[in-house]
Amino acid sequence: MAVCLRTSRAIINSLQSKVGLLSMISQSSCWSSLTHHREPPFSSLKAQNVRDPDANFCDKATLYSSRRFESVKTEKQFNSPDDVDHYQILDFPGGKVAFTSEMRFISESPVERAHCYRVLDNDGQLILCSKFKKVSEEMAIKMYSDMVTLQTMDAFFYEAQRQGRISFYATTIGEEAINIASAAALTIDDLVFPQYREPGVLLWRGFTLKEFANQCFGNKADNGKGRQMPIHYGSNKHNYFTVAATIATQLPHAVGAAYSLKMDRRNACVITYFGDGGTSEGDFHAALNLAAVREVPVIFFCRNNGWAISTPTTDQFRSDGVVVKGRGYGIRSIRVDGNDALAIYSSVHAAREMAISEQRPILIEALTYRVGHHSTSDDSTKYRPVDEIEWWRSARDPVARFRKWIESNGWWCSEAESELRNSVKTQLLQAIQEAEKIEKSPLAELFTDVYDVPPSNLSEQEKLLRETIRRHPQDYPQDVPI
Amino acid sequence: MAAVFQGLGAATALSVSNSLDSRKFLVSSRKSLSERKASFLVVRSDGRVVPRSNARGRRAEQLITNAVATKPDSSAASTTSKPGHELLLFEALREGLEEEMDRDPHVCVMGEDVGHYGGSYKVTKGLADKYGDLRVLDTPIAENSFTGMGIGAAMTGLRPIIEGMNMGFLLLAFNQISNNCGMLHYTSGGQFKIPVVIRGPGGVGRQLGAEHSQRLESYFQSIPGIQMVACSTPYNAKGLMKAAIRSENPVILFEHVLLYNLKERIPDEEYICSLEEAEMVRPGEHVTILTYSRMRYHVMQAAKTLVNKGYDPEVIDIRSLKPFDLYTIGNSVKKTHRVLIVEECMRTGGIGASLTAAITENFHDYLDAPIVCLSSQDVPTPYAGTLEEWTVVQPAQIVTAVEKLCQ
């Protein structure tokens, strides 16, 4: 559909008449619009005046309608027929492009990989001239304590699974900085849509060790009423949306939630987490696209930890990681060192401000390493070298790195360290022992919450089940309350 | 096929006598799925005005519904001689949608081309101008994702209506509908609710090809946590749309491509239709014909022929595809003892297959003959007009089936 400048007026006229015709056609034979549906060239285009100073999102209705039909008139330059000199710039749907007579393919990979933002060096010392958001002593200590708690919690629950006390667990080892520092940079009003490796965000927000244990044991004190596997936490009180086992399905949810915040003009944003593997899912691409087109305040946080179960990133994508994909959707992005708590804190803080004030999505790629196995059902030594895992566990431990920084500030010492670790251990042991003893959800909870009120067919099925259990009690678990 | 139906079958409201002992029916104690908190009047389509009370009281009443309001309402300020106003089915859907959007600012619409384009079938025409682009959201072509977006928005308090341009496209949204929409209320322990409405046109149209002639109700019927309803007249289209929006559960509203231009006179005053009730289209004595959506019209056409031949079929539009209104259906089976199901779904795994199983399980003793189910064949819908016609159940087949059943 190349448009020549000289016949611009004629084109405008025919375009406008076609718009009218199209709506007439649609009115009379509705279903034939299906064949048109892939190419309505007039209705849904946006002008390229994204930098329009009047584009204030508060004036939504008029803004959107004026934007939408701008490009039908194919830019204001048609009003002045003197602009015939611009041979090398022409208009296509979507805006102006400059022409070139050189056939140059854009390279599939950049000359240099996108740079990675970090604040602390490997020894936990501030890099000279590094720019970052300052963290107070109180905040830093809470961050560190929570990182230690998360680390300890992982160790204990993993052990509990190995002992057969819970059925499943997935650790967050190596990603403590991502979990805690990103949570610390947000407020409690910001909504969190996690994948499954972000319990630290919930921990930061106040979810207690007892509550974690209850969910893992699936007892009746669990928020989720024992309906989900361990680590599928959820708490509306903490604005942490229940983990679903499906990969990347939370990304469109996050966009929808951000859209809801935008409609209500709340001073809050949404953050959603996913791994490198999740970026291959269709939902990732569509969610990023949707967020950019709809200009919603959401932070897409990718934990690029190098592995999707046994699939390394080289088999997952061929781009320069995930950060470059942001530009593909028109999203501002940054790559950060995922094991550097301060870098994560600063970038999430900045991202949140941009997301809310400019009403735009932001993509953050945090490079890190998944030190633990994918889950308790996995043995990662089968597909990666043991010494690699060990190196990342010790030399690149984000918790140790952060500790070095707070120690060098004089905010922490080894006594505080042992006190913290002991206290957490005791609390965890107690939480696990208690959670184990609490009884499971009663039978009725099998049928509630499927709908708001149990319908007749479910009530019938419940009755039938109770009858069956009554007749054959020896075939059913004794410790589940009826 | 822009057929104009006004007053199908029996034109006057009939009341079935109280000889049907509904209290004997086992499932009579079930409650309605959603509590309706708003207080307003429900105008039954036979003209009776009843207050919206609790469901238990309603169960004891007779469910006689007729497609057209027959009793003039004195409160309606109507300048024409007949009460209510006339409109087409897609306009009725829009009216319902608009009323709910006026009533509750949390209601929003999202889908492809729903904004300024007004939707492929013009159901959302004019809404973007009235409510702005943020409440009537155009999405890119990513069904799984904008369905997911709707789910996320619902979990944070909005009430989105997700439009699939054609129901068949929602197969791309199956993951979100099954794994998230139906499940998250349950798996979160009731913490997050998902009051979405997913709607769109489906069914076999006029030579739209196999991919655009899907009957998704058969694929979705197994998903726990969702409700499914199918509208067939402008009256129930508007009523079901409003009820679906107000429901706290995710509801899938099935419209039919060929029914959008049906014209009917509907009441001026506000009303909703129950999501779990079936509609009695034509009371009868000899055989119960269960149907929904477009097949209702094929059945009614066959009914005319059958009446001429001396049969008295009872026609019920089941409307609620999940859960089935076994109360109404059961009462009918107990009266006629013969059941014919006419559907557009394929033979294998369709709504008819489930309905056959449900009726056999619950009312086996009342049946004098095996249940007959007329459905489409298990083939993709061909493009050629004649072939396409042969995949859809035609009135002649219905007449033959009834005759055979009543021997």
Strands (E), B115-239: 136-138, 159-163, 197-202, 227-230
Tell me: the pLDDT tens digits for A139-154? 999 999 999 999 999 9
With cut-offs at 50, 70 and 90, classify the pLDDT of residue A128. confident
| pLDDT given for residue A22 in this prediction | 44
- Measured in residues, chain A has a length of 482
Looking at this predicted complex, what is its ipTM?
A: 0.72
For B368, the enclosing helix (H) or strand (E) is none
Q: Which of A457-461, B22-26, B349-353 has the highest mean pLDDT?
A: B349-353
Structural domains in chain B?
A: 40-51+60-66+77-273 (3.40.50.970), 279-405 (3.40.50.920)
**Encoded tokens for B382:** 């061909």
* Contact yes or no for B208 and A31 at CB 8 A: yes
Q: Name chain A contacts of B189, Cβ cutoff 8 Å.
A: 222-225, 227, 234, 242, 449
* Contact yes or no for A236 and B323 at CB 8 A: no
With cut-offs at 50, 70 and 90, classify the pLDDT of residue A255. very high
| pLDDT given for residue B134 in this prediction | 86
| pLDDT given for residue A298 in this prediction | 97
Q: Do the beta carbons of residue A212 and residue A222 sit within 8 Å?
A: no
The one-letter amino acid at A432: I
The one-letter amino acid at B262: L
* Contact yes or no for A253 and B166 at CB 8 A: no
| pLDDT given for residue A479 in this prediction | 76
Q: What is the mean pLDDT of residues A433-448?
A: 92
| pLDDT given for residue B140 in this prediction | 87
With cut-offs at 50, 70 and 90, classify the pLDDT of residue B133. confident
Q: Do the beta carbons of residue B84 and residue B78 sit within 8 Å?
A: yes
Q: Distance from B7 to chain A by nearest Cα, in Å? A: 24
With cut-offs at 50, 70 and 90, classify the pLDDT of residue B350. very high
| pLDDT given for residue B81 in this prediction | 65
Q: What is the mean pLDDT of residues A428-457?
A: 92
Q: Do the beta carbons of residue A302 and residue A274 sit within 8 Å?
A: yes
Higher pLDDT, B38 or B353: B353
**Block residue for tokens 């361990």:** A230
Q: Do the beta carbons of residue A363 and residue A272 sit within 8 Å?
A: no
B residues 239..278 contacting A (CB < 8 A): 247-249, 257, 260-261, 276
Q: Name chain A contacts of B115, Cβ cutoff 8 Å.
A: 44, 68
B225 touches chain A (CB under 8 A): yes
β-strand B313-317 against B107-111: which pairing, if any?
unpaired
Q: Distance from A368 to chain B by nearest Cα, in Å? A: 28
β-strand B136-138 against A95-98: which pairing, if any?
unpaired
**Is the pLDDT confidence value at A206 over 70?**
yes
Q: What is the mean pLDDT of residues B126-149?
A: 91
A227 touches chain B (CB under 8 A): yes
Query: What is the rounded CA–CA span in Å between residue B15 and residue B92?
Result: 27
| pLDDT given for residue B37 in this prediction | 41
Q: Do the beta carbons of residue B164 and residue B176 sit within 8 Å?
A: no
With cut-offs at 50, 70 and 90, classify the pLDDT of residue A178. very high
* Contact yes or no for B150 and A293 at CB 8 A: no
Strands (E), B353-407: 372-376
Q: What is the mean pLDDT of residues B64-85?
A: 50
**Is the pLDDT confidence value at B241 over 90?**
yes
**Encoded tokens for A288:** 């990023």
Residues 6+ apart with CB under 8 A from A299: A269, A270, A271, A272, A348, A351, A352, A355, A361, A362, A363, A364
| pLDDT given for residue A250 in this prediction | 96
Strands (E), B89-142: 107-111, 136-138
Sign of CA dihedral B54, B57, B61, B63: positive
**Is the pLDDT confidence value at B368 over 70?**
yes
Q: Do the beta carbons of residue B268 and residue B83 sit within 8 Å?
A: yes
With cut-offs at 50, 70 and 90, classify the pLDDT of residue A346. very high
**Mutation site, B88, B187, B223, interface A, largest A CB count within 10 A:** B187
**Encoded tokens for A356:** 């809310």
The one-letter amino acid at A168: F
Q: Distance from A159 to chain B by nearest Cα, in Å? A: 25
**Is the pLDDT confidence value at A385 over 80?**
yes
**Is the pLDDT confidence value at A24 over 60?**
no
| pLDDT given for residue A9 in this prediction | 53
| pLDDT given for residue B101 in this prediction | 96
Sign of CA dihedral A325, A327, A331, A335: positive
| pLDDT given for residue B59 in this prediction | 41
B125 touches chain A (CB under 8 A): no
Q: What is the mean pLDDT of residues B333-342?
A: 96
Question: Catalytic amino acids of A?
Answer: 370, 374, 383
* Contact yes or no for A252 and B148 at CB 8 A: yes
Q: What is the mean pLDDT of residues A385-413?
A: 96
A283 touches chain B (CB under 8 A): yes
**Mutation site, A21, A33, A34, interface B, largest B CB count within 10 A:** A34
User: By three-state DSSP, how is residue B183 classified?
Assistant: coil
Q: Is B161 exposed, middle or buried (0-12, 13-18, 19+ CB in 10 A)?
A: buried
The Cα-based distances of A35 to A22, B97, B197 in angstroms read 12, 26, 26
Phi and psi at B313, nearest 5°, equal -80, 145
DSSP code of B394?
Answer: -
**Is the pLDDT confidence value at A438 over 60?**
yes
H-state helical runs in A295-333? 323-329
DSSP code of A184?
Answer: H
- Average pLDDT across chain A, whole number: 85
Sign of CA dihedral B305, B311, B317, B318: negative
Express as a percent the part of chain B with pLDDT over 90: 69
- Average pLDDT across chain B, whole number: 83
The Cα-based distances of A170 to A156, A159, A231, A309, B321 in angstroms read 12, 11, 7, 11, 40
Q: Is B210 exposed, middle or buried (0-12, 13-18, 19+ CB in 10 A)?
A: middle
Q: What is the mean pLDDT of residues B73-89?
A: 68
**Is the pLDDT confidence value at B8 over 70?**
no
**Is the pLDDT confidence value at B103 over 50?**
yes
Residues 6+ apart with CB under 8 A from B253: B197, B198, B199, B229, B230, B231, B240, B241, B244
Phi and psi at A103, nearest 5°, equal -85, 95
pTM beyond cutoff 0.80: no
**Encoded tokens for A418:** 């042992």
* Contact yes or no for A456 and B326 at CB 8 A: yes
H-state helical runs in A163-242? 176-184, 199-205, 209-217
Selecting among B95, B100, B112, B143, the annotated active-site residue is: B143
**Is the pLDDT confidence value at A324 over 70?**
yes
With cut-offs at 50, 70 and 90, classify the pLDDT of residue A413. very high
Q: For the ranges A396-400, B100-104, B137-141, which has the lowest average pLDDT? A: B137-141
